[in-house]
Chain A
Amino acid sequence: MATPVKVYGPPLSTAVCRVVACLLEKDVEFQLISLNMAKGDHKKPDFLKIQPFGQVPAFQDEKISLFESRAICRYVCENYPEKGNKGLFGTNPLAKASIDQWLEAEGQSFNPPSSALVFQLALAPRMNIKQDEGVIKQNEEKLAKVLDVYEKRLGESRFLAGDEFSLADLSHLPNAHYLVNATDRGEILTSRDNVGRWWGEISNRDSWKKVVDMQKQQHSP
C-alpha cells in the first residue's frame, strides 16, 4: 500500500482546502499536518525549507516536495490519472486547455476580490482588525463584474470548462464557501441564477462535504 501523501497547513486555510478537495476527488490517501499560523509555524526554518515563501500549503510524496496549491492539484491529477475522478484535469489536450483557462481565470480574476472580501468580512473581525469599507466596496464591485462573466458562461455550459466538473470549478470552492457561509454577502453568488445553480452543484459534491466536515472538526470555539 502506498504511503499517504503529506499536506502541510491548517484545515481552515482556503489554499490548503483546495488541495484537500482535489485529493478527496482523486481518492488519494493523505495525511494533513496542521500548522499553527498564529504561532508562526509557517515562518520557522524547518517549514521554510519546504516552502521558502512561508505560505501554506506545502505537499510531499515519495518523489517530490511541492508548493502552490494549483500546481499541487495539477500534479496530483497527472500522477494519479487512474484514481478517483479520472476527468478532473481533462483526458485530452483541448479539455485540459479549457480547464487551465478557467483555473487561471479563478487565480487571476476570482481569487483576488473574493479573498479580500473573505478577509475583510470573515477574518478581520475575528482578529480584531478594523474593516476597511473602501476595500470592501471596491472588491464587491470587482467580484460582481467577474460573476457577471461567470453568469453568462454558466448559462452556456454546465461547469466552467465544459460539461464535466473539473479542477477549474474545484478551485473556486474554498473562497466561495466562506463567502456564502461566513459572510453576509453570499447572495453575490446565490442570487445569480446560473452561478447559484453551479454553486449548489459543486458544493454538494461528496468531496467538498468532507472538506467542510474536516473544517468543522478543527474549528476552535
Chain B
Amino acid sequence: MVVKVYGSVKAACPQRVLACLLEKGVEFEIVQVDLDEGEHKRPEFLLRQPFGQVPVIEDGDFKLFESRAIIRYYAAKYANQGPNLLGNTLEEKALVDQWLEVEAHNFNDLAFNLVLQLVILPRMGQRSDTALVHNLEQKLEAVLNIYEQRLSKSNYLAGDSFTLADLSHLPALRYLMNEAGMAHLVTQRKHVNAWWDKISSRPAWKKLASLAH
C-alpha cells in the first residue's frame, strides 16, 4: 500500500513528512495541492484536513494530519526498517520528543516568519517589515546559541544518532540558508554548522531537495 501525501513537494511541512518516508524507505505518492490557487481552502480538501493545511496522509483507510504526528507514527511503525529515528530506550525517545517540541515551539515560528518576510512577501509583491526581520533574527540567534551549546556536547540534538528531532529542522533551515539569505546564522556557529553539514548530506534529504528545488 503506497502512502498518499497531500501537499506540495516544495512546502516545508510536507517536506518534513517526505524526508521521514524517504529515510525509512516507505513508498509514497505525492498528490499535488495547489496552494497558490487556494486548493487547500476548498470544501473537498477541508474534508481531509479541517484546518485547511498541508500535509495530510492517506494510507489505505487511515488518515492523519500534522506533520510531526505523521513522522512520529511512521518512525514507530517502521522502527525496524532503515535508520532508527526514534531512539531505543524510553529515555532516548523522550529526548527525541523534547527536541522535536523545541523545533515546534522555539525554532519553527521564528524560521517561518523570517522566510515569510524575506521570501514569500516579496514574491507576492509586498514589502517586508525590516524592524520585524531584525527582531526575528535576534531571537533566532539566541535560540541557535543554545543549539550551539547542545551540539558541542552531542553529535545530534537528541544524542549520538540522527533522529526525527534533527530531521524536523531540515525544511525550514534549507529555506533560511538559501532563498532567505540567512546562511550566516548556521555557518557562524561551529557546531551548528557541522551538524547542518551532516544532516543535509544524508542521501534521503539530497533526494528530496533535488525533487523539490
User: At the interface, yes or no: A107 with Cβ under 8 Å from chain B?
Assistant: yes
Interface residues in A, total, Cβ within 8 A? 31
Q: How far is the CA of A98 from the CA of B66 in the complex (A)?
A: 10
> What 1/0 flags go to B31-71 for Cβ under 8 Å of A?
00000000000000000001100000000001011101100
Instruction: Indicate which residue in A53, A112, A149 contacts B51 across the interface (CB closer than 8 Å).
Output: A149
User: At the interface, yes or no: A52 with Cβ under 8 Å from chain B?
Assistant: yes
User: At the interface, yes or no: A146 with Cβ under 8 Å from chain B?
Assistant: yes
User: Which residues of chain A are within 8 angstroms of B123 by Cβ–Cβ distance?
Assistant: none
Q: How far is the CA of A64 from the CA of B90 in the complex (A)?
A: 10
> What 1/0 flags go to B130-156 for Cβ under 8 Å of A?
000000000000010010011000000
User: Which residues of chain A are within 8 angstroms of B143 by Cβ–Cβ distance?
Assistant: 53
The B interface is mostly helix, strand or loop, or mixed, namely helix
User: Which residues of chain B are within 8 angstroms of A101 by Cβ–Cβ distance?
Assistant: 64-66, 69
**Closest approach, in angstroms, between the C-beta of B89 and any C-beta of chain A?**
9
The A interface is mostly helix, strand or loop, or mixed, namely helix
Q: How far is the CA of A146 from the CA of B50 in the complex (A)?
A: 9
B91 near A63 with CB under 8 A, answer yes
User: At the interface, yes or no: A94 with Cβ under 8 Å from chain B?
Assistant: yes
B90 near A75 with CB under 8 A, answer yes
Interface residues in B, total, Cβ within 8 A? 30
Interface positions, chain A 100-119, Cβ under 8 Å from B, are 100-101, 103-105, 107-109, 112
Q: How far is the CA of A34 from the CA of B65 in the complex (A)?
A: 36
Q: How far is the CA of A70 from the CA of B101 in the complex (A)?
A: 7
B98 near A71 with CB under 8 A, answer yes
Instruction: Indicate which residue in B72, B102, B106 contacts A100 across the interface (CB closer than 8 Å).
Output: B72
A71 near B101 with CB under 8 A, answer yes
Among residues of A, the one whose C-beta sits closest to the C-beta of B97 is A71
Q: How far is the CA of A104 from the CA of B105 in the complex (A)?
A: 11
Further 18 A-B residue pairs, CB within 8 A, beyond A93-B77, A153-B50: A52-B150, A64-B91, A70-B101, A71-B94, A71-B97, A74-B94, A75-B90, A75-B93, A75-B97, A78-B94, A97-B62, A97-B69, A98-B64, A105-B65, A105-B66, A108-B66, A146-B51, A152-B50
A sample of 6 inter-chain contacts (CB < 8 A) reads A71-B101, A78-B90, A100-B66, A100-B68, A107-B101, A108-B66
